[in-house]
């Protein structure tokens, strides 16, 4: 199988889909890897490292397409122009933002491209090592705690100084999925007193195992695949009362709640923000999906009632080296899964991993 690696062109995107070490392992398995020059530079992986790994470097997308790879990999979804430059009939693997990529569907169809969306890796044991969303969410949760700590007007840990003792800051993590758990762990390591809320009651054990207080939901909303389900109006009101009673005493709030395929739920209202101490900080990791906080603006920091609202976007790209290594491991494992006997590419729409990931199959949109 021949695998092509595209350079990311989205402003601020510093990750690369395949790092030199992963490329070397694919080559050792009998594959051929072709990489666009500069693809890994922003993440600290220079062209020389790829050459040492045994990959073939090419100048641009046109040269990459001319190499006729069976599979093209990248981090973020390509533009329509990028899709048009891909070799006809190839397989594209990337974060394709299903449901919001209609503008590239005609280009995928015209080029008869099979597109696999990394967001759609199913949450099953067999696919855990391919789960890009989980690996990148862990990066986001870690960095969110650091962003919040840097913006806060006080220390996180308790300090004993000649000027007296300073009480630790209180951090409240909303959503105890992969991002939330990593935010809890990081805030704890930084010395904050941490509490967390999740509508999935089963998350309580994980929160407590990290040394944080679990704020029990008034109404649980367990979903499928490890996600929460949408709440009814009554459930939302009950849980909002619990959150409102707790949030007023918090210095740092990190929100992480997402529902696949839907707008992020509002968890923190303007009225709740008004009860928080001026100088407090809220980091909203769901800002790109509409936000968990009323008034948040994706990619911006705004101040409401003296509280900083940080609309975090594409946080994993701010930790590009490790984020790329993790992303690359997921992609390499997926490619290994897609490798048939003899090393050829095999796309099986009936496979429990591959099937759910298909956005287009030989250019034809896959209906759910």
Q: Active-site residue among 14, 70, 134, 231?
A: 134
Architecture of domain 139-318: 3-Layer(aba) Sandwich (3.40)
Given pLDDT bands bounded at 50, 70 and 90, which one contains residue 258? confident
pLDDT of residue 131: 96
What are the boundaries of each domain within the chain?
Answer: 2-120+338-365, 139-318
Q: Active-site residue among 37, 129, 227, 248?
A: 227
- In angstroms, rounded to a whole number, what is the distance separating the alpha carbons of residues 41 and 64? 17
Classify 349 as helix, strand or coil: coil
Q: Look over the chain and give the mean of its residue pLDDT values, rounded to a whole number.
A: 94
Residue 227 has pLDDT above 80, yes or no: no
Residue pair 86/72 in contact (Cβ under 8 Å)? The answer is yes
Is 142 catalytic? The answer is no
> DSSP characters for 96-163?
--TTS-GGGHHHHHHTT-EEEEGGG--SSGGGGGG-HHHHHHHHHHHHHHHHHHHHSSS-SS-EEETT
Q: Active-site residue among 131, 198, 251, 284?
A: 131
- CATH class name, domain 2-120+338-365: alpha beta
Is 50 catalytic? The answer is no
pLDDT of residue 259: 74
Half-sphere exposure of residue 282: CA atoms within 13 angstroms, side-chain side:
36
Per-residue CA distances from 348 to 39, 92, 119 (Å): 29, 15, 18
Given pLDDT bands bounded at 50, 70 and 90, which one contains residue 104? confident
pTM comes to: 0.92
pLDDT tens digit string along 56-79?
A: 999 999 999 999 999 999 999 998
Candidates 144, 138, 82, 136; CA nearest to 113 is 82
Indicate the burial class of 244 (C-beta count within 10 angstroms; 0-12, 13-18, 19 or more): middle
Q: Active-site residue among 79, 128, 213, 325?
A: 128
Classify 26 as helix, strand or coil: helix
- In angstroms, rounded to a whole number, what is the distance separating the alpha carbons of residues 139 and 178? 9
Is 131 catalytic? The answer is yes
């Amino acid at each position: 199988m021949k695998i092509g690696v595209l350079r990311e062109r989205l402003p601020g995107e510093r990750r690369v889909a395949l790092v030199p070490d992963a490329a070397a392992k694919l080559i050792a398995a009998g594959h051929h890897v072709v990489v666009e020059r500069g693809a890994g530079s922003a993440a600290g992986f220079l062209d020389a490292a790829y050459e040492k790994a045994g990959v073939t470097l090419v100048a641009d997308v046109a040269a990459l397409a001319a190499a006729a790879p069976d599979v093209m990999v990248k981090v973020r979804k390509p533009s329509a122009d990028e899709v048009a430059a891909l070799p006809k009939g190839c397989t594209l693997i990337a974060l394709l933002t299903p449901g919001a990529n209609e503008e590239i569907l005609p280009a995928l169809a015209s080029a008869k491209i099979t597109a696999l969306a990394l967001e759609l890796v199913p949450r099953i044991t067999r696919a855990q090592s391919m789960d890009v969303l989980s690996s990148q969410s862990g990066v986001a949760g870690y960095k969110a705690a650091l962003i919040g700590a840097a913006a806060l007007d006080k220390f996180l840990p308790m300090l004993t100084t000649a000027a007296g003792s300073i009480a630790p800051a209180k951090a409240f993590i909303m959503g105890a999925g992969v991002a939330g758990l990593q935010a809890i762990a990081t805030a704890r390591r930084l010395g904050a007193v941490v509490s967390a809320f999740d509508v999935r009651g089963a998350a309580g054990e994980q929160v407590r195992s990290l040394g944080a207080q679990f704020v029990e939901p008034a109404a649980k909303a367990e979903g499928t695949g490890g996600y929460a389900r949408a709440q009814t109006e009554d459930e939302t009101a009950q849980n909002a009362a619990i959150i409102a009673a707790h949030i007023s005493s918090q210095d740092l709030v990190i929100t992480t709640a997402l529902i696949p395929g839907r707008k992020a739920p509002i968890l923190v209202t303007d009225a709740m923000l008004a009860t928080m101490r001026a100088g407090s900080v809220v980091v909203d990791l769901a800002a790109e999906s509409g936000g968990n906080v009323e008034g948040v603006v994706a990619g911006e920091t705004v101040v409401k009632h003296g509280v900083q609202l940080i609309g975090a976007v594409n946080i994993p790209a701010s930790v590009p080296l490790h984020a790329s290594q993790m992303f690359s491991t997921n992609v390499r494992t997926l490619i290994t899964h897609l490798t048939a006997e003899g090393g050829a590419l095999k796309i099986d729409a009936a496979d429990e991993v591959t099937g759910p990931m298909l956005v287009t199959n030989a250019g034809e949109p896959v209906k759910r």
